[in-house]
Structure 1
Amino acid sequence: MRADGTVVCERCSLADSPVARMRGLLGRDGLEQGEGLLLRPASSIHTFFMRFPIDAVFLDRDFAVLGIEDGIAPWRAASQRGAKAVLELPAGESSRRGLAVGDRLTLAA
């Protein structure tokens, strides 16, 4: 959720163990609108062996957006210096939700 109350990811899973981060979205056929995966800790991601593009939102330790990579195709990698977490969203979702560098996100159950 953004500081203004805008929900960024309604159904977001957490990958906070080495095995969960390694598995990531592998084996999935896609992400539905409103789905996402938060990888923590992480400063980089890859889409090797994935079947679909994703958006990657790089976050600092306070969940402020440091950078956004839109539509990362399969077999690519992306990173952001200083990132402590990465939110993976369906391709185009970061634009649809109006995410921008500097936005601060919060986790809500």
Structure 2
Amino acid sequence: MLFPIDVIFLDADKKIIGTATLKPWTGHKRMKGVKYIIEMNQGTVARFNLVPGEQLTF
């Protein structure tokens, strides 16, 4: 990837269990219990105040 992104890690119930901002050409350590990963533009997590424990619907 050529630009930073925000990442949300969700469990099987679609609850947020973690978030991260990844810089280009970096990765993230494995998180236990992750079923879904959502990648978004950098700043989206802060803009929508997404925090662990919240449940998403999709």
TM-score normalised to structure 1 length: 0.50
- The number of equivalent residue pairs is 57
**Rg (Cα) greater in structure:** 1
Q: 5+ residue gaps in structure 1? A: 1-49
Q: Map Cα deviations across residues 60-98 of structure 1 (whole Å, 9 max, x no partner).
A: 01100000002x101111132110010101011101011
Give the Cα–Cα distance (whole angstroms) in 2 for the partners of residues 51 and 86 of structure 1: 19
Counterpart position of 1:76:
26
TM-score normalised to structure 2 length: 0.91
Deviant stretches of 4+, over 3 Å: none
1:52 aligns with 2:3: yes
- Matched residue SS, 1:77: coil
Give the Cα–Cα distance (whole angstroms) in 2 for the partners of residues 55 and 81 of structure 1: 19
Counterpart position of 2:51:
100
Amino acid across the alignment from 2:55: R
- Of the two structures, which has the highest relative contact order with CA contacts closer than 8 Å and spacing of 6 or more? 2
Give the Cα–Cα distance (whole angstroms) in 1 for the partners of residues 31 and 7 of structure 2: 10
Q: 2:42 aligns with which of 91, 94, 97?
A: 91
Conserved 8 A contact 2:2-2:25? no
C-alpha RMSD of the superposition: 0.8
